[in-house]
Amino acid sequence: MIPELGQIALLLALAVACIQGTLPLVGAARGRADWMALARPAAQTHFVLVAVAFICLTSAFVRNDFSVVYVATNSNSALPLAYRVAGVWGGHEGSLLLWLMMLSVWMLAVAQFSRYLPQAVLARILAVMGLVSVGFLLFMLTTSNPFDRLFPVPPDGNDLNPLLQDPGMVVHPPMLYMGYVGFSVAFAFAVAALIGGNLDATWARWTRPWTTAAWAFLTVGIMLGSMWAYYVLGWGGWWFWDPVENASFMPWLAGTALIHSLAVTEKRGAFKSWTVLLAIVAFSLSLLGTFLVRSGVLSSVHAFATDPRRGLFILAFLAVVIGGSLVLYAWRAPKVGLGSRFGLLSRETLLLANNVLFVVAMLSVLLGTLYPLLLDALGMGKISVGPPYFDTVFLPLMVPVVFLLGIGPLARWKNAELPDLAKRLRWAAVAAVVVALATGWIAGRITFGATLGFLMAFWIVAAVATDLWERVRPAGAMRTSVVARLRLLPRATVGMMLAHLGVAAFAFGVSMVRTYEIERDVKMAVGDSTELAGYVFNFGGMSEVVGPNYDAVQARVDVTRNGSPVVTMRPEKRIYRVQRNPMTEAAIDPGPTRDLYVSLGEPVDEGRAWIVRVYFKPFVDWIWGGCLLMALGGALAASDRRYRAKQRQEREAGSTAGATA
Amino acid sequence: MKSLRFIVPLALFGILVFFLWRGLRLDPHEVPSPLIDKPAPRFALARLDDAGAKIGRDDMLGKVWLLNVWASWCVACREEHATLLAFAQTRAVPIIGLNYKDTRADGLAWLNQFGNPYTASAFDANGRVGIDFGVYGVPETFVIDKQGVIRFKQIGPLTPEAIETRIQPLLRKLNG
């Protein structure tokens, strides 16, 4: 019964989305307030219906209802509860339902928190999001129904892919999709503005908090995905330039460019048509990512089902949504105008350079991801693109980005003076060089790559410090104390600084790991020990472990330093009973300055000894810490009270304007 | 004229859609016809585990064998690894690995950690041999007959199903 309930909820949601996507739009064009007023209740109803469907599927997983095909292929009665819940998004159909769930959450949020918007604008925004939802609902119901039944009912399920049975996988997809789908809000704002023709600084201010929030979610989502790869794939890497990773990284790059160009549009009214284009591109890349992952055009570890009908449907959907919005753009954007002028050296120019670099980086990732496909489609042979391409192309683009990142916040809008900037930043530059070299010297080896990385990290820190000092320095007649001035800093500014420091932490972590990581493969029998960066790893022997749905052999490795015990590590090799996949479960001892990472290889000498891989990874957690700082900065900036305060003013102004109209 | 540039994104997107549409009809796992029933490209490379020893196509003449292209940086190779290990244990045919665009240390460490299904691995650091074989997405697997002719190609990870339904029947036929 319950799966049928979910099915009905989805069908009703489709009906509601159809209404939400059409009537308010027509109402906005004809100025009919009653039709426009449908948008909000429709979005709320849509949310409730999708939530019901989602709960129904979750309940089918929790109750081990193997009469549902999707549950039978992605779960098992021995699967622990947390993974049964995560199993909801462990496969194709459920991922789509999660996508839709997130879309309706964002729609509800827009409906609840945007009452201050003029009615026509809100109606258009919710209508555009409703149309996106129509597409996804049709896709699910026609090609990928999660509620399809299975007869006869199998006695037990096929189990969740063991690679996905990890705590990171429980939270990674919801976060990632929150970010992916969150860009639909910026997209809807942009399309609504193109339809309505009211593209101005107010529009940018409305869009900003939504975009920044979505970007923060996406940042966390990518971070969790990277941590998952580090923990689960078992050889200590944290980014592989896999097509599916790229699919999540491209919207992030476009989104990063977007939040910066929105700042210019809001503050200076410039870059308007460019900002709108970026908003369309960011969401288009989210959709493209969905297409790449779900259609099977690219080979990847994540590529799940490959059903040609599905691929064709998503492609048609892409063509309608992206193509339609780009037609609208080509038609309406020329009338938008270019905004105010600015000098050759100004904050606008620097942010424009930032935008160009991010877009070029995004395009190079796109090219690398699609290149094999393009050549193949042209009949020019088959090639593969791996990390060597991406490292070569991507890193050189990030160096100028970081350099500009230091200067940008200090440059004045409209017109900045080069000598003035150089004077203000000279100590920051000196400090960055000195500290970078000193760090290499302390670490014991100075290499070009590491020095460049440290230079980037410390340049950001020094420039942010300079910026902060200039803002809070007691100066002139206003003899307020530093602390009082610190309190007065707007949240948006603090958020920006925090996010920039996050980039510094990230660059520092990457440089440290890339240069000073130590790894060793050793054959170890009971009692053997090996030494790595001052830590002594003592192999204490193997034992057998029985998990809920797997059997494992577990090693005990006691780690000591200068004779005193540090930690006992227990790496495992698991065999999951249903799918018979062997999995290497690394043991990791995380720390602020280093991770110790031990994973098991193969048994040798008839099982008397094992090949053990031991890593010393300095500052590796800073990579994710940096991402977390970026996301935190984004969250702070999105919650700046300026948006809420202005919203209140506008609501009042809007109601008086409405009264006069 | 100035407003023409606003059409550029649309035009670029149109081109992209065209390629994606073509891409849908190309199955990345499908056999590309040009290499099938053609002699395998001749190669002689250093072995992964021993830089002094060579291994090449001609060493395998007279035997039916599998060539499996892999790399330590390849995530999908990990996925197929268990299948390959299980198949190696049947000792049906020799499996030669082509370690593609990798470093010797990484490749060897990977085999140590996850197990070595290969009779031997050839070390193709710059990917030249891989290009001769038309390697598209690592992993790939070729079935090569006694005369050195490619009879089957699998792009992407080997699955137990592919081994059972396609490779084993072919091997039985080729081995008479």
DSSP A337-359: -------SSSHHHHHHHHHHHHH
Q: Measured between CB atoms, does B79 come within 8 Å of chain A? A: yes
Predicted structure pTM score: 0.82
pLDDT at A455 over 90: yes
In chain B, % of residues over pLDDT 70: 91
Q: Measured between CB atoms, does A379 come within 8 Å of chain B? A: no
Nearest to A169 by CA among A251, A219, A230, A107: A230
Average pLDDT of B113-130? 87
A to B CB pairs, distance under 8 Å: 130
Q: Measured between CB atoms, does B3 come within 8 Å of chain A? A: yes
Instruction: Give the residues across from A589 on adjacent strands.
Output: A596
Per-residue pLDDT of A177-207, as tens digits, reads: 999 899 999 999 999 999 988 788 888 999 9
Q: Enumerate residues 6+ apart whose C-beta is below 8 A from B58.
A: B42, B44, B148
pLDDT at A332 over 60: yes
Pick from A284, A301, A377: which is nearest to B26 by CB? A377
A chain contacts of residue B41, beta-carbon cutoff 8 Å: none
pLDDT at A657 over 70: no
The answer to whether the bond into B139 is cis (omega within 30° of 0) is: yes
User: What does the pLDDT read at residue A589?
Assistant: 93
The encoded tokens of residue B34 equal 């040009």
Per-residue pLDDT of A572-626, as tens digits, reads: 888 888 777 678 888 999 999 999 999 887 788 777 888 888 999 999 999 999 9
- Closest residue on chain B to A369 (Cα): B137
Q: Measured between CB atoms, does A277 come within 8 Å of chain B? A: yes
The encoded tokens of residue B11 equal 């035009």
Please report where in the chains the tokens 């009908």 appear, as a residue. A309
Pick from A327, A382, A581: which is nearest to B10 by CB? A327
Helices (H), chain B: 8-25, 75-89, 104-114, 128-132, 160-162, 168-174
Between A10-14, A353-357, B133-137, the lowest mean confidence (pLDDT) is in B133-137
- Are B6 and A296 in contact (CB < 8 Å)? no
- Closest residue on chain A to B131 (Cα): A383
Q: Measured between CB atoms, does B138 come within 8 Å of chain A? A: yes
Name the range with the highest mean pLDDT among A618-632, B78-92, B155-169: A618-632
Q: Rounded to 5 degrees, what angle do the CA atoms A623, A629, A635 make?
A: 140
CA distances (Å), origin A255, targets A203, A224, A414, A643, B69? 17, 18, 24, 19, 37
Other CB atoms within 10 A of residue A539 CB: 22
User: What does the pLDDT read at residue A648?
Assistant: 56
Q: In A363-382, which positions are buried (b, 16+ CB within 10 angstroms) versus exposed (e)? A: ebbbebbbebbbbbbeeeeb
- What's the ipTM? 0.78
What DSSP element (H or E) covers A614? strand A609-618
Half-sphere exposure of A372 (CA within 13 A, CB side): 23
Pick from A273, A323, A582: which is nearest to B13 by CB? A323
CA A511 from chain centre, in angstroms, equals 22
Q: Measured between CB atoms, does A654 come within 8 Å of chain B? A: no
Per-residue pLDDT of A484-523, as tens digits, reads: 778 888 899 999 999 999 999 999 999 999 889 898 888 8
What is the distance between the alpha carbons of residues A34 and A11, in angstroms, rounded to a whole number? 25
Using DSSP, state whether B91 is helix, strand or coil: coil
User: What does the pLDDT read at residue B91?
Assistant: 83
What is the distance between the alpha carbons of residues B137 and B76, in angstroms, rounded to a whole number? 9
- Which of B1, B7, B24 would best serve as a mutation to test chain A binding (most A beta carbons within 10 A)? B24
Which CATH number does the domain B30-174 belong to among 3.40.50.620, 3.30.420.40, 3.30.2310.20, 3.40.30.10?
3.40.30.10
Q: For residue A60, report the phi and psi dihedrals to the nearest 5 degrees.
A: -60, -35
User: What does the pLDDT read at residue A208?
Assistant: 93
Strand order in the sheet with B150-155: B120-124, B95-100, B65-70, B140-144, B150-155
Nearest to A556 by CA among A589, A534, A587, A601: A587
Q: Give domain limits for chain B.
A: 30-174
Q: For residue A345, report the phi and psi dihedrals to the nearest 5 degrees.
A: -115, 110
Residues 96-115 of B with CB under 8 A from A: 101, 109-110, 112-115
